[in-house]
Amino acid sequence: MKSKSTQIAIQLILLISLLILVNLISQNWYFYIDLTEDKRFTLEDSTIKLIDEIDDVILIDVLLEGNLNSSFVKLQERTKEILGQFKSLNPNIEFKFSNPSKGNVQDINMRRENLRQDGIVPATLFIVENDQRVEKLIYPFAIINYGDRRIPVNLLEPIGQGESEEEAINRSSMLLEYKLASTIAKLIKKNAPIIMFTEGNGELSGDQTAMLETLLRKTMSTGRINLDSTYRIDPEVDLLIVAKPESVVSLRNQFILDQYIMNGGKVIWLIDQFFVNLDSISNNKVYIPRPIEHGLDDLFFKYGIRIKNNVILDLENSKIPQVFGVAGNKVQQQLFPWVFHPLLQANMENPIVKNIDRVYSTFPSSIEILNEKESIESSVLLTSSKYSRFQVYPSINISFEIMRIEQRPEAYNKPYLPVAVLLEGEFESFFKNRVSKEMLNGLKQINTDFKENSSTTSQLFIADGDIIKNLYDATNNRISPIGFNKWERYTYKGNKDFIINAIDYMLDDFGLVESRSKNFELRLLDQVALRNNTLKWQVINLVIPPILVILLGFLFSWTRKKRYTT
Distance from C-alpha of 401 to C-alpha of 143, rounded to nearest angstrom: 51
Query: What's the average model confidence in pLDDT over 485-513?
Result: 92
Model pTM greater than 0.75?
yes
Please name the helix (run of DSSP H) or strand (run of DSSP E) that holds residue 322, with its range, or none. strand 317-327
Question: What angle (nearest 5°) sits at the alpha carbon of residue 245, between those of residues 240 and 249?
Answer: 85
Q: How large is the average pLDDT for residues 495-524?
A: 82
Residues near 9 by Cβ (< 8 Å), separated by ≥ 6? Answer: none
The type of residue at 358 is: R
pLDDT at 548: 84
Mean model confidence pLDDT for the chain: 87
Q: Tell me: pLDDT of 208 over 60.
A: yes
User: Does 522 score more than 60 pLDDT?
Assistant: no
Residue 503's nearest CA partner among 467, 478, 471, 470 is: 467
- According to the model, what pLDDT value does residue 337 have? 92
Q: For the stretch 469-487, what's the b/e string if a residue is b when 16 or more beta carbons lie within 10 angstroms of its beta carbon?
A: bbebeeeeeebbebbbbee
Q: Which residues pair with 196 in a beta bridge?
A: 223, 240
- Predicted pLDDT of residue 529: 62
pLDDT of residue 527: 53
Section 282-309 average pLDDT: 91
For the residues 125-152, what does the mean pLDDT come to? 81
Task: Give the Cα separation of 192 and 390 in Å (integer).
Answer: 42
Confidence band of 50 (pLDDT split at 50, 70, 90): very high
Q: Tell me what the mean pLDDT of segment 438-450 comes to.
A: 85
Residue 162's pLDDT is what? 67
Other beta carbons less than 10 A from residue 61's beta carbon = 17
Could you tell me the pLDDT band of residue 189, with boundaries at 50, 70 and 90?
A: confident
- Where does the pLDDT of residue 312 fall: very low under 50, low under 70, confident under 90, or very high at 90 and above? very high
Question: Which pLDDT does position 403 carry in this prediction?
Answer: 83
Highest mean pLDDT among 79-83, 278-282, 319-323: 79-83
Neighbours of 293 (CB within 10 A): 12
What pLDDT, on the 0 to 100 scale, is given for residue 441? 84
- Percent of the chain residues topping a pLDDT of 90: 52
What lies within 8 Å, CB to CB, of 347 at 6+ separation is 353, 379, 380, 381, 382, 383
Alpha-carbon gap, residue 383 to 304, rounded angstroms: 18
25-34, 97-106, 277-286: the lowest-pLDDT one: 25-34
The CA–CA distances, whole Å, from 14 to 8, 27, 436, 563 equal 10, 20, 86, 22
pLDDT (0 to 100) of residue 430:
95
Supply the pLDDT for residue 296. Answer: 97
- Does position 537 have pLDDT exceeding 80, yes or no? no
Assess whether pLDDT exceeds 90 at residue 438: no
pLDDT band at 96; cut points 50, 70, 90: very high
Q: Quickly state the pLDDT bin for 131 (edges 50, 70, 90).
A: low
**d(C-alpha 4, C-alpha 422), whole Å:** 76
What the chain holds in terms of domains, given with CATH numbers, is: 27-188 (3.40.30), 194-506 (no CATH)
Give the model's confidence band at 185: pLDDT under 50 very low, under 70 low, under 90 confident, else very high. very high
The reported pLDDT for the residue numbered 38 is 58
pLDDT band at 2 (very low <50, low <70, confident <90, very high): low
For residue 122, whether the previous peptide bond is cis, meaning omega lies within 30 degrees of 0, is no
